[in-house]
Structure 1
Amino acid sequence: MTARRITKRTVNALQSNGSEFTIWDDTVSGFGVRVRPTGAKSYVVVYRAGVGRGAPVRRYTIAAVGKITPERARARAKVVLGAVAHGHDPANQKTTERGAPTVAELADRFMADHVRTKRKAGTAEFYRDILDRIVKPAVGTTKADKLTRLQIGRLHSSLADTPFQANRVLAVIGSMYAFAGRAGVVPEGTNPARRIDRFTESHRERFLTGEELERLGGAIREAETTGIPWALDETKATAKHIPKLKRSTKIEPSAAAALRLLLFTGCRLREILHLRWEHVDFERGCLFLPDSKTGRKTVILNAPALAVLNSLERVGAYVVPGDSPEKPRHDLKRPWDAVTRRAGLTGVRLHDLRHTYASFGAASGLGLPIIGRLLGHAQVATTSRYAHLDNDPLRRASDAIAAHIFAALEGSQAASVLPLRQMR
C-alpha cells in the first residue's frame, strides 16, 4: 500500500476489510496505523533490532487510536527509532516489562519460595501480616521493577503513629527485594526501601517491682482457686441476668503454671506454650528445647520452676495443653488479662515477665554474660539493655570516691574514713 501522511482524517477514514493491514506514514519510516479485522486501530512503529538483513523485525505498539493524536504518535515513533539507532530494542524491553510480576505477585512468591521454607513459623506469620495488610493494599499493583523509593517513603511516613511497625515494613520490603534480586526478578541490588530514614523507636522495658510481683502472685492464686470476681455494671440489662454463682473468672492450673514458668525461667511465651514433656529433664533439672528463636536452647530449671512442673498433671504431649490434649495452648491472653486487671498492672505485657527475670538478675550483680546465657541471647548487645540495672559495681565505686572526698573535706586521711552506713 502506498505511504501517505497519517492525519486525523486519514485515520478516521480507515475501515476493516476482514483482514489485518497497516498503512505507513510518508514522513517517518516505520511509523504506521495497524487495522485489525475487528476494526480496532493502533499506532505502531516497525524496525530491525540490530544491523543487517538478518536482524529480527520488531513491531512496537505506541497506543490505540483515539488515545493520542497522530502528531503525538509520530513524535513517540521518532523517540523509539532514536533508541533503536543507539542499540536498544524497545519492543523486547516492553515485552520483558509486561512479564515482570507486580509487587503483590512478588510478595506471594517471596512467601512461598523463601519465607515459609527458611523462616520460623512466627516470623513467617509476621511477614505475611505485613505484606497482606500493609504493603499489598498500598503498592501491590505496581510492577516490582518499577516500585520507587518515593512510594515506599510515603508508605513509611503514613505509619508514623506506629514507628516500630513502620520500620518493620521497610525491613520486610528490603528482605523481599534481596530475594527478588537473587531470583533474577529484578536487578541485583534493587531495594526501594534503602536509604529511607527509620523512625526512632523507644524500646519498652517494663520491669515488675517486688511489690508488683506480690500483687501478681496473689491474683494468680485467687484466679486458680476461688476465682476473680467480675466487675459488673448492674445498670445494664444483660448483667442482671447473669447467675451470681458464675460471677467470677477461674483459670486452669496449666495456665497458672505457664505464667509462673515465664517468671521463673525468663523463657519466651512460645517456648513455654510449645513445651513438650519429652523436653523436660527432671533428673538434670533442664529444659532441652530443640528449637527456639535462636536455635537449640538449654534452659536451667531452678527449684521453683521444678516445683511448678512437678505439680502439673500429664494429660498429653504438651506441658500446657490446649483444648485438645495433643495440641498446645494457643495463648494466655484471657488469663493474663484477668490477673493483671486484678493486680492493678494495667499495660503490663506477658513479655515483661522475661524482662523482670533479667532485671532481678542484673540487680543482683550476676553479670550480663550469665544473664544472656540464661535468656538464650545470641547477641551480647541484646543483653546490654539491662546494664543500667547492675548497680553493685557502680555503688562500690561511688562509695570509694566519696570516701576520699569526705576525708579531704574533714581534713583527715582517706584511710581512716569509715564506710557510710546504707540507709534502710
Structure 2
Amino acid sequence: MSLKTKFGGKFTDIYLDTLRKEIAKTPPPKEVDIREVKGSPGFGIRVRKTGVITFFYMYHFGGKRRMLILGSYNDPRSKVTLSEARQKYNDAIAQVGAGVDPMAKPTTSATDLTVDKVAAEFLEKYSQVYYSPRWHQTVSGVLKNYVLPKLGGRPIKSISRRDIIPILESLLVTKPGQARNTHKALSMMLWFAEDREYIPSNPHTKMTRTLPNLSVPEGKDRFLDDQEIVKVWRRIDRGPGEDSTKRALKFILVTGQRPEEVSSMHRKEINGRWWTIPWSRIKTENKKTLRRKPQDHRVYLSDLAMSLLGDGTEYIFPSFEVKDGEDGLVRRERGPVSRNSLSQRVARGYRCERRKGQVVWFEYYGRPTWTPHDLRRSAKSGMSRINIPKDWSKKVLNHKDSRIDGTYDLHDYDDQKQEALTRWSAHLESLLNLKKPEQPE
C-alpha cells in the first residue's frame, strides 16, 4: 500500500487496520498526512515515521491555520476509535461555526491550578510529545506514584522546597534510582509550569546542592577487568537462574550492546553472521527530537556470540510467564526475558554450598556491586585494553559521532566492527580457556 496525501472516500476501520498492518512492516521514512476528500473537510490522519496513526482536524481561525489533534488510532496512550475521532471532529466543527477556537486554552483561576492538573497537562503536552515512550512512561510513573499522592491536591503556587525535599530524601534511602527519576521529572514539570506562568519561579532549582546523591548515579565508572570477567563468567555458569538469562548476560559482554536491546533480540533480526537491531528498539534512535532519519544498527556475531544464541526460533533469550487460562489450566506464555530480570539475576548472584552443609550467597557473583549495563562498559574498556582503535569500538557500541562527522562520514564500518568483535571474542576465549582447537584446512 502506497501512502497518498488524499483518500478517495471516507475512512473505514478496514482501511485503517490494513494501513496499520502495512506500516508496522514498513514504516514511512517521514511523516505523511492523508486527507478525506468527500464529506469531511479538514479531517485526516497523520502517519508518523514511528508507525503511529494520528487523527487531526485542519481548520482556519482568526486568519490562521490550526491543527487539532483528535487522538491516535494505534497508540495505547491516546487511543481513539474512528467513530470517536469523528465525534471529536464534529464537535470541533460546531465550535468553529459558533466562533469558538477548539484549541483555545480554557481560562483557569489560580486557585484551580492544582499540582495534579498541571502534571496532567505536562504529561500530555510535553512529556508524551517530546520524550521517548520509555522515558515518558517512567516520568508518568514516578509522578503518579511518588508526587501526586502527597502533593496532587495542592495549589501549584503553594509548592515549596520544603514540600519536595522530604519526598526525595525518603526515596534516596529506599529507592535511590527512583529518587533520581523523580528529581528529573519534578524539575521538568515545574519548569513547564514556570514557563507557562503558572508559578512565579521553579522551587526545584539547584536541588542537587541540597541532596548531592541526586546528581551522579552510582556505578557510572564500574567495569569488570579481565580477572573479574573470568570469575563472573564461571560463577554465572555454576549459579542458579534460567539458561536464557545466563546467555543474555554473557552476550552483552561479548557484543557490547545495551541490555534492553539484547534481552528482546529476535531470530528474525539475524542474517548469517550479522544481527540488525531495528531503530525502533534503539534508545538513541527513538528520541522524538531526532533531526535525522533513524538508523538500524548492525552487529557482527563472532563464534563466541553465535554459541550463545541457542536454538529458539523466535526470541533468542526467552522467558516464560505463568498465567491461568479460562479453563482453569496453567499455561506458559512465551516472550523475551525482561531487562529487570537481568538486573535481578546479577544482584542475587549465586549460592555456594560449603562443607558441613553451610550455604553462602554471593551477591553480584562475589564482586563489588555491578549491573548488566556495566558489562557493556567492560566490553568497551576491554577493547581499548587490547588496542582495538577507539573509532572501531565506538561503532560497535553504536555511539554517535559529532554532528559534523555524522553528516560527512557515511561509511558503514562493517569491516572494522567485524575485526573489533572478532579480536575481542578471541581475547575472551583465551581468558576463559574456551578457545577451540584449530580446524584442519
Alignment TM-score, normalising by the size of structure 2: 0.49
Give the 5 Å matches for 1:345-424.
345=367, 347-378=369-400
TM-superposition CA deviations, 1:240-276 (whole Å, max 9, x none): xxxxxxxxx4522x22321221111122221111222
CA RMSD of aligned residues (A): 3.5
- Which residue of structure 2 lines up, in the alignment, with residue 300 of structure 1? 299
Query: Match of 2:253?
Result: 263
Conserved? CA contact 2:274–2:301, under 8 Å: no
**Which AA in structure 1 matches 2:376?**
R
Larger RCO: 1 or 2 (CA < 8 Å, sep 6+):
2
User: What stretches of structure 1 of length at least 5 have no aligned partner?
Assistant: 1-93, 223-227, 229-248, 381-424
In the alignment, what sits opposite 1:148?
160
Partner of 1:82: none
Residue 317 of structure 2, aligned match among 320, 325, 332: 320
Identify if the C-alpha distance between structure 1 residues 376 and 191 changes in structure 2 by more than 3 Å, giving closer, same or farther.
farther
- SS of residue paired to 1:359: helix
User: 1-side partners of 2:109 and 2:184: how far apart?
Assistant: 28
Inter-partner Cα distance in structure 1 for 2:273 and 2:300: 11
Which is greater in Rg?
Answer: 1
Change in Cα spacing, 1:308 to 1:105, as seen in structure 2 (3 Å) is farther
Query: Does structure 1 retain, via aligned residues, the 8 Å contact 2:168–2:179?
Result: yes
SS at match of 1:327: strand
Q: In structure 1, how many angstroms separate the alpha carbons of the residues matched to 2:225 and 2:131?
A: 36
Per the alignment, residue 223 of structure 2 pairs with 207
Q: Which of residues 136, 144, 164 in structure 1 aligns to 2:148?
A: 136
Given that 2:254 and 2:305 are in contact with CA atoms closer than 8 Å, whether structure 1 keeps it comes out as: no
CA contact under 8 A between 2:123 and 2:140: conserved in structure 1?
A: yes
Matches within 5 A, 1:237-248: none
Q: Which runs of 5+ in 2 are unaligned?
A: 1-106, 286-294, 321-331, 352-360, 403-441
Deviation at 1:120, TM superposition (A): 3.1
Report how far residue 283 of structure 1 moved. Answer: 4.7
Quick one: percent identity of the two aligned structures?
Answer: 20
> Which whole-Å CA distance do the structure 2 matches of 1:220 and 1:319 have between them?
18
> Are 1:104 and 2:116 matched, yes or no?
yes
Q: Distance in 1 between matches of 2:180 and 2:273?
A: 45
**Matched-pair contact (CA < 8 Å) for 2:187–2:205:** yes
Q: 1:277 and 2:267 equivalent?
A: yes
Q: Matched residue of 1:294: which SS? A: helix
1:179-194 → structure 2 map (5 Å cutoff): 179-180=192-193, 184=196, 186=198, 190-194=201-205
Asked if structure 2 preserves the Cα contact closer than 8 Å seen for 1:258 and 1:320, the reply is yes
SS of the aligned residue for 1:322 comes to strand
| Alpha-carbon separation, structure 2, partners of 1:348 and 1:221 | 18
Shift in Å, 1:365: 3.4
How many Å separate the matches in 2 of 1:95 and 1:314? 57
Does the CA-based 8 Å contact 1:207-1:356 persist in structure 2? yes
Q: 2-side partners of 1:212 and 1:277: how far apart?
A: 31
Task: Say if 1:107 and 1:259 are closer, same or farther in 2 by CA, change over 3 A.
Answer: same
1:165 Cα offset (Å): 5.1
Structure 1 residue 145 displacement after superposition: 3.5
- The structure richer in strand per residue is 2
Matched letter for residue 271 of structure 2: D
CA offsets, 1:33-68, max 9 Å, x none? xxxxxxxxxxxxxxxxxxxxxxxxxxxxxxxxxxxx
Poorly superposed stretches of 4+, deviation over 6 Å: none
Q: Counterpart of 2:183?
A: 170
Q: How much does 1:278 deviate?
A: 2.3
Structure 1 counterpart of 2:307, one-letter code: V
